[in-house]
Every structure is written in structure tokens, then in C-alpha cells.
Chains A and B, each alone.
Chain A
Amino acid sequence: MLQAVMLIVAQTIVLLAVSPFIVGLIRKVKARLQCRRGASAFQPYADLAKLFRKQPVVSDTTSWIFTATPYILFASTLAAGLLVPVFVSQTPLNFAGNIIALVYLLALGTFFLILAGLDAGSAFGGMGSSREAIVASLTEPAMILSIFAIALTAGSTNLSTIVHKTALLEGIVTDPSPHLMAFAALFIVALAETGRVPVDNPATHLELTMIHEAMVLEYSGRYLALVEWAAGLKLLVFLTLIVNIFAPWGIATSLAPGALGLGLAVYLVKVSGLAVVIGVIESMFAKLRLFRVTDLLGVAFILALLALVFFYVLRG
């Protein structure tokens, strides 16, 4: 019991501590690819610290939903993060929810964020909320199908079980084709869900293009800090999900201190690597028009469907 609590606490700390770095790292990579020096990868920590100390300004028109949302968003995203194995393959909270629970926990945050976007009454917030609603709707089917394809290969929808089995290469189907397609689908879904290029541009403040930034436009001070942190967490949760499901090797499969240390180090390297990839992709592609996003998410859905077909048909 004590061990479980300690693992949960450790995982919380790792997620909270690493997420701003990942955001900073992506920005740094983009800056370097644009031949700028860019701010340090640790800049987001300073930003958060500053935001926490600033006095928040809250609109007169808002209700309690507006001030409660950052906390709900933060809690739901972090809760989703605690269901994902991070550096130990067997998380203590494995029993609390499988991959569907993770999806719906993230949806809880999205729901309140959409409400908060509408609460201030400005057209920007409404626009962001409206767009978030359509992007979220279109990503979900692809996400559920790709998740299911992965679940089939490991014979479980519980994340720890999937990761643990894959890490030990026992009791799973090793055919690369379904994995490859599910990976591609989930990667597109991750880009869409976390508001990255080519679906949304986290660096933009142009009303025609923004989605997530428009929803949180009215936030300031500590509320903005929590929202930003939660956004970083969501990104990290998706990266963790992808690296640990498709390449769990190096993750600690036992609770020996050496394995834990190695697991943590390997985890940091893996998520940093994936963050660099995202940075490169953001530099290579332009943001899609909102109504072209359907094409991209259609591809993700088909990839997930193909993963399923391949799993069943090629295995006879």
C-alpha cells in the first residue's frame, strides 16, 4: 500500500516536472530550425512561476465555471496521466481505469474548457470552443479504433498490462503491420488532441487560426498557469502513451532501484526524442485549414481501421 502511494506520488511529480520541459524543448527545436537561438528549453518553468505570482483578472460576465475549470482541467489531465505507465510498467492505478477511462478523463477537461471559452462572452472564446468541439469529435473515433487495435495485440485494454506484456515481449502478437498503422493513427490523433500543427498552432494569436489559444484567451495569472500546465501535461500524456505502448523497452518491469533509475532515464530520452520529432514536423508543415482537418483525421480513422483489419485478417 505504502509502496503504491509512493509510486503514485513519484509518477505525479515526474509528470508535473517533465511536462513544461517538453513544451520548451519543442519550442527550442522549432527555433533552431528557423535559425533562431530561441529561449532555453527550461523557459516554461519560469513562465509558470511568473504566472502563478501574477494577479489574475477575471471577467465580470463569468460564473464559477470559469474559475473552477482550470482546477478541473488540471485534475482530469493529471488523473489521465496517472493511468499511463510512465517509467514503471505496472502502475498502481492500473485497476482504476483502462484506456477508455483515459480518453473520457481527457474529454472531461475538454468539456469544461469549452464551457470556459463560452463563459466570458467574447466571440473569440466562442470561436475557439466551437472549433475545439469539432476537432475533438473527429479525433475520437480514430482514437478508439487505434486503441482497440493495440489492445487486441496485447489482449488487454489496461495500459499497464499492454506495456508490461510488450516490454517483456510475452503473450503479444508481434506482427509489425497493425502496430505500424495504429502508431500512425495514434500519432495523428495526438497531434490533433494536443493542438499541434497541422491541426492547431500553439504559437499563434491570430483569431482566424487559433483553437486552443482562443478558448483560454480570457485566462490570466494563476488560472492561466494551471491551464498551460494542463496543456503541457496533456501533450506529455500522449507522448508517454505512444512511446510506452509502441516502444516500451527500457521501462522498469520490476521495482528494483536500478531498474527504476534506468526506466526514468530511458523515459526522458524517449519522450524528448518524440518531442524533437514533433518540433521538426511543426517546422515542416503549415497549419491546415479547419475544414481540411477532416481529411487528416479521416486518414487517421482509416489507418486505425486498417490496423484492425490487418490484425484480424492476417492472423487468419
Chain B
Amino acid sequence: MSLLSQQFGSQMVNLGSALLLLTCFAIVAQRRLSACVDLFALQSVLLAATAALVAFLTGIHHIYIAAALTVVIKAVLIPRILKQVVERLNVTRELVMNVNVPASLLICGGLVMLAFFITQPIIPLGFLLTRDSLAIALAIILIGFFTMIARKKAVTQVIGFLVMENGLFLGATSAAYGMPLIVEIGVFFDVLVGALIIGIYTHRLQDAFDSVDTTKLTTLKE
């Protein structure tokens, strides 16, 4: 592979990761629950595309399988489950948050910078092709975590969790050109089961408290 096309490939991988990061911010700024789910699906598609690009550029084939699984599970199955949950709920948008949207955005901007500073020393050690994505992957994980803190509704918290998982996948792809396939499949299975359980849990929450606001759970302690 010539140096120029390698640089071009690296830029494309970066672009894919950057778009992934943008969808994170879109999720943070979005109040409508169904749109959050759609954005998560979009993020998963972008993740699959980036992974496929890495597979194409490096010639490591098992990443293709992981990419395909990503599309099937995270872009189709899980969003469908979450959509069903959202449809059953009596709320379509999240009006009250622990941290309001502009502040969340600023905090997430800070998290991105933090991620970049933290990965600074290890970035030059990575593969040329994907090393910059590691910082973005860490940023996505942090933002996913923050979303779980900042939001109150169970659905958005699930999305935060799934975003974290996406970040982990991107990190694995960029830092190590993917995990072994068997681990990958195991993780996918875990996530799917996790999403199913959380879906059922959300239904129970809805039935018990007539709301999916997880702050209501504090009333359980008595």
C-alpha cells in the first residue's frame, strides 16, 4: 500500500470516527426519545462502516463479521426493541434532565478534550492507520457514561450504555484491529440480552411507577 493511500485511508477512518462522535453529541442534544434511538442506530451503522473500512484496509477478515453483526444487532434488533419500549411509554420526550442540554454539551466537549489529553502519550505507539481513533473511542465511552448520569429516563440511560459499548468496539478495532471473533460474538450476545432485560425492566418500571424516570427508584429503599 502506498504511503499516500495509507494516509488517505487513515483520514477516512478518522472521518468515520469523527462522525461517530458527532452522533454522540446529537444524542446528548436530542430530547425526543425515538430520535435518540434512531441516532443510536445511525451510530451503529457508521461504526459498522468504519470497522468494515478498517477490515478492507488491513485485510483482516474477521472484522467484517463483527461489522455485519453490529449492523444486525445494534442497528436493527436493539433499536426495534427500544422503539417498542418507547411506543408503550406515555412520554415521547425528556423535558427535565439532571444536567440541561447546553451544559451537557459543554461538559461533553470537555470530556473529548480530556480523552485526547489522556491518550496523547499512547497514541504514537498505535497502528498508523487507526491510532487517532483510540482517542475518539475513549471520548465516546466517556460521553456514553455521562449520558447515563445526565439523563433520567430509563430509555436514554440504556442508549448511554449502548453508546459506551460502541465506543469500546471502536476502541478495540482501532487499538488492536479487533478482538478475537469469539470474544466479539460473546459481547454481542451479552449486549443483546442486556438490552432485552433492560427493555423488560423498563416495562416493569412503567407498570410499577407509571413512569420510566429512574429517580423514582429511590422510593424503593423503604
Contacts and interface: CB of A to CB of B under 8 A. Distances in A.
Given A298-B102, A302-B109, A313-B116, A177 B18 contact: yes
Instruction: Describe A's contact surface by its main secondary structure.
Output: helix
B11 A175 contact: yes
Contacts of B25: 299, 302-303, 306
Contacts of A184: 22
B105 interface: yes
Given A175-B11, A303-B22, A294 B102 contact: yes
Contact of B11 (A176, A298, A299, A316): A176
Interface in B86-145: 101-102, 105-106, 108-109, 112-113, 116, 120, 124, 132, 135
Contact of A313 (B11, B102, B135): B135
Chain B interface size, as a band, is 20 to 34
B116 A309 contact: yes
A301 B19 CA distance: 16
A208 interface: no
Contacts of A296: 29
Interface in A267-316: 294-296, 298-299, 301-303, 305-306, 309-310, 313-314, 316
B119 to A, nearest CB: 9
A177 B106 contact: no
A158 B219 CA distance: 60
B181 interface: no
Nearest to A294: B102
Interface in B2-55: 11-12, 14-15, 18-19, 21-22, 25-26, 29
A177 B124 CA distance: 20
Contact of B106 (A175, A180, A298): A298
Contacts, number: 61
Contacts of A301: 105-106, 109
Contact of A295 (B21, B102, B109, B112): B102
B112 A309 contact: yes
Interface in B122-173: 124, 132, 135
25 contacts: A174-B11, A175-B11, A176-B15, A177-B11, A294-B101, A294-B102, A295-B29, A295-B102, A298-B102, A299-B105, A301-B105, A302-B25, A302-B106, A302-B108, A306-B18, A306-B21, A306-B25, A306-B109, A309-B112, A310-B14, A310-B18, A313-B120, A313-B132, A313-B135, A316-B124
Interface of B: 11-12, 14-15, 18-19, 21-22, 25-26, 29, 101-102, 105-106, 108-109, 112-113, 116, 120, 124, 132, 135
